[in-house]
Amino acid sequence: MRYVLIAAIVAGFGVVGGAEPKDPAYTSKTFQDILGRVITRDKDTDAILLVKRKEDAPAAPYPYSLRFSIRADQEGNGNVDIVIHGDVKWDKTYERYFLKADDAIRKELGNQKKLEAAKEMAHKKYVEEQTKRIHELTGGKLKYGMSREQVEAVMGKPSRFEDAQASFGLFYPGMVLWFSNSGEGLDDVRLTKKDK
Q: Please tell me which residue, 106 or 165, carries the higher pLDDT value.
A: 106
Share of the chain above pLDDT 90, in %: 64
Q: Please tell me which residue, 153 or 86, carries the higher pLDDT value.
A: 153
- The pLDDT of 107-111, averaged and rounded, is 96
The answer on pLDDT for 14 being more than 80 is no
- Which of 142, 192, 150, 145 shows the shortest CA–CA distance to 172? 192
CA 143 – CA 163 distance, rounded (Å): 21
- The pLDDT of 115-144, averaged and rounded, is 95
pLDDT of residue 10: 38
- The pLDDT of 136-142, averaged and rounded, is 94
pLDDT of residue 146: 95
pLDDT of residue 4: 40
- The pLDDT of 90-103, averaged and rounded, is 88
For the chain, what are the domain ranges?
Answer: 20-117, 138-195
pLDDT of residue 43: 97
The answer on pLDDT for 175 being more than 90 is yes
pLDDT of residue 182: 77
CA 86 – CA 83 distance, rounded (Å): 10
Quote the mean pLDDT of the chain.
85
The answer on pLDDT for 113 being more than 60 is yes
pLDDT tens per residue across span 44-89 = 999 999 999 998 888 767 778 899 999 998 888 889 999 999 876 5
Q: Please tell me which residue, 26 or 52, carries the higher pLDDT value.
A: 52
pLDDT of residue 8: 38
CA 170 – CA 172 distance, rounded (Å): 7
CA 57 – CA 41 distance, rounded (Å): 22
What is the signed CA dihedral for 111, 112, 113, 119, rounded to 10 degrees?
A: 110
pLDDT of residue 32: 96
